[in-house]
């Protein structure tokens, strides 16, 4: 089966750009609601702590635990998606979990007790975890060569963008629609995103080739313009024919997989810890409710801009060094947050903390998405998202314990700074990827490779 190449017509090239744009837009939009779910809980924590008429009495320690229930669900969802995503495909996992997540958010809005609220936070988290674990694999497999970190950063910037949406919505509408209305907004994907995804989201041709479905890959390529990679470029990295999590446990990937998991653990501990407790900590330092929510807004807006700039650099110098640098930036900014500073300097420090924490995690997903071959990519991103969520579970709990003990925000920020430095050290220890897909020159835009029978 020799390989032939053809140059795409302008129409085919336009179709390819349009198809990739749909993948990026739909993936980013899905993650906007992941970020919305993350931050909207932080915006309602002060309400739940102050008024027991909503769910009953909620202590700071309980609030931290409730914040962690969704993250346990994310862990379950990510690992489940990793177990099946490399076998059944990226598209099916995304469609199912867009609906799953939306139903969970809607039902959460109707809960009347702490127990049921926590249960459906867990349920919602399963859908979130599956989406986070899948979109990185899909985007990495359709993104143009040399731009994968940038495309992944655009998609995963949906998480802080969702945080911005949640903060703005809480400031503008929180008093009028209440916390239940804020959660109902999170149920919108089943109405606005799922129909579009069913119509426009393609399967990954690279995944189809990895599963030996060459005819299906060609059909997707003809419809979308997304090129089909040469089979030998994908299949020679079968990792002894292991697929998914067994491939991660192979001798070649076991050590870097452990390090990538620890790196994501640090990034998500910082991301969830700050998003859950920053409004409350700043409120205790004398800032009013809207001021405290504005800190969340600055944190997530800076993460979007900083993450995109850093991803551009990562495509040129390598993601590992950039991730280590942004972790160090987080440590420096977090260390100075408890200090008495003018408002402008304080907001700058919060913005740099957003780049170094949430922005770093955006880069981590890009690094992991491009680290593994096709037969293990979804499992690798799932491991990163799933194991990392253990850090996301620990972060809100640590914040809750410290706030409940009356220690204040200073200790929490110092602890988060230490975690940032540890994350930088782990990032530098990750070995370079050695699989063939990372060494080959991918197809240039406009080139479509197909296999024909001689």
3-class state of residue 277 by DSSP:
helix
DSSP 396-443: HHHHHHHHHTT--HHHHHHHHHHHHHHHHHHHHHSPPP-SHHHHSPPP
Q: Where are the beta strands (DSSP E) in 79-192?
A: none
Per-residue model confidence (pLDDT) at position 371: 83
- Residue 228 DSSP class: B
Per-residue model confidence (pLDDT) at position 446: 36
User: How far apart are the C-alpha atoms of 139 and 102, rounded to whole Å?
Assistant: 22
Cα Rg, the chain, nearest whole Å: 22
Query: What angle do helix axes 148-156 and 114-142 make, rounded to 10 degrees?
Result: 160
| Per-residue pLDDT tens digits of the chain, which is 454 residues long | 333 344 567 777 788 888 888 999 999 999 998 888 877 887 787 788 887 776 777 777 777 778 778 878 888 888 888 777 777 888 999 999 999 999 999 999 998 888 898 899 899 989 988 888 888 888 888 887 777 778 888 888 888 788 778 878 887 887 788 888 999 998 998 998 999 999 999 888 888 887 778 888 888 888 888 877 766 555 545 445 566 677 787 788 888 889 999 999 999 888 878 877 777 676 666 666 666 667 877 887 888 888 888 888 887 877 888 999 999 999 998 888 777 777 788 888 888 988 888 888 888 888 888 788 777 787 888 888 888 878 877 877 777 777 666 666 677 788 888 999 999 999 999 887 655 444 443 333 333 343 332 2
Beta bridge partner(s), residue 448: 6
Per-residue model confidence (pLDDT) at position 285: 65
Per-residue model confidence (pLDDT) at position 107: 92
Q: Which of 277, 242, 228 is nearest to 376 (CA)?
A: 242
Joined tokens for residue 419: 């975690």
Per-residue model confidence (pLDDT) at position 437: 47
DSSP helix, strand, coil percent of the chain (3-state; round to 5): 80, 0, 20
Angle value at C-alpha 344, between 338 and 350, nearest 5 degrees: 50
CB atoms within 10 A of CB 238: 15
Per-residue model confidence (pLDDT) at position 154: 86
Q: How far is C-alpha 446 from the chain's CA centre?
A: 30
CB atoms within 10 A of CB 442: 18
Question: Domains in the chain and their CATH numbers?
Answer: 3-433 (1.20.1250.20)
Residues 149, 370 contacting (CB under 8 angstroms): yes
Residues 443, 13 contacting (CB under 8 angstroms): no
Per-residue model confidence (pLDDT) at position 235: 53
Those residues whose C-beta lies under 8 Å from the C-beta of residue 168, and which sit 6 or more positions away, are 297
Per-residue model confidence (pLDDT) at position 96: 92
Per-residue model confidence (pLDDT) at position 286: 65
Instruction: Determine which helix (DSSP H) or strand (DSSP E) holds 5, and give its type and residue range.
Output: strand 3-7
Long-range contacts of 296-299 (CB under 8 A, 24+ apart): 296/39, 296/42, 296/43, 296/163, 296/166, 296/167, 297/164, 297/167, 297/168, 297/171, 298/347, 298/350, 298/351, 298/354, 299/160, 299/163, 299/274, 299/275, 299/350, 299/351, 299/353, 299/354, 299/357, 299/358
Per-residue model confidence (pLDDT) at position 386: 81
């Amino acid at each position: 089966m020799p390989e032939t190449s053809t140059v795409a017509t302008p129409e085919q090239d336009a179709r390819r750009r349009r198809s990739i744009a749909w993948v990026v837009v739909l993936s980013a939009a899905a993650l906007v609601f992941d970020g919305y779910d993350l931050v909207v809980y932080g915006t309602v924590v002060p309400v739940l702590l102050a008024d027991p008429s909503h769910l009953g009495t909620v202590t700071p320690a309980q609030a931290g635990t409730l914040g962690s229930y969704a993250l346990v669900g994310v862990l379950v969802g990510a690992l489940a998606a990793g177990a099946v995503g490399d076998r059944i495909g990226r598209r099916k996992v995304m469609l199912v979990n867009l609906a799953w997540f939306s139903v969970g958010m809607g039902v959460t809005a109707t809960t009347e007790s702490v127990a049921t609220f926590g249960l459906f936070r867990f349920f919602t988290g399963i859908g979130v975890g599956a989406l986070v674990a899948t979109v990185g694999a899909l985007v990495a497999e359709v993104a143009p060569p040399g731009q994968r970190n940038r495309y992944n950063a655009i998609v995963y910037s949906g998480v802080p963008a969702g945080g911005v949406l949640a903060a703005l919505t809480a400031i503008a509408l929180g008093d009028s629609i209440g916390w239940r209305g804020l959660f109902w907004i999170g149920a919108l994907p089943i109405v606005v995103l799922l129909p579009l995804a069913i119509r426009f989201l393609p399967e990954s041709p690279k995944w189809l080739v990895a599963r030996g479905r060459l005819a299906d890959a060609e059909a997707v390529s003809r419809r979308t313009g997304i090129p089909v990679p040469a089979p030998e470029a994908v299949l020679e990295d079968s990792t002894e024919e292991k697929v998914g999590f067994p491939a991660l446990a192979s001798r070649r990937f076991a050590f870097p997989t452990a390090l990538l998991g620890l790196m994501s653990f640090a990034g998500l501990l910082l991301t969830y810890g700050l998003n859950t407790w920053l409004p409350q900590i700043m409120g205790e330092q004398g800032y009013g409710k809207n001021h405290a929510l504005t800190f969340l807004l600055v944190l997530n807006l800076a993460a979007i801009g900083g993450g995109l700039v850093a991803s551009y650099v990562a495509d040129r110098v390598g993601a590992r060094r950039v991730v280590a640098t942004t972790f160090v930036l987080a440590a420096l900014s977090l260390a100075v947050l408890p200090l008495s500073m003018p408002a402008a300097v304080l907001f700058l420090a919060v913005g740099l903390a957003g780049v170094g924490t949430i922005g770093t995690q955006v880069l981590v997903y890009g690094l992991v998405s491009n680290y593994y071959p096709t037969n293990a990519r979804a499992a690798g991103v799932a491991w990163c998202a799933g194991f990392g969520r253990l850090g996301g579970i620990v972060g809100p709990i640590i914040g809750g314990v410290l706030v409940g003990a009356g220690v204040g925000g200073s200790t929490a920020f110092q602890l988060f700074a230490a975690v940032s430095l540890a994350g930088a050290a782990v990032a530098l220890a990750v070995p370079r990827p050695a699989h063939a897909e990372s060494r080959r020159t991918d197809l240039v835009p406009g080139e479509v490779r197909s296999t024909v029978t001689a």
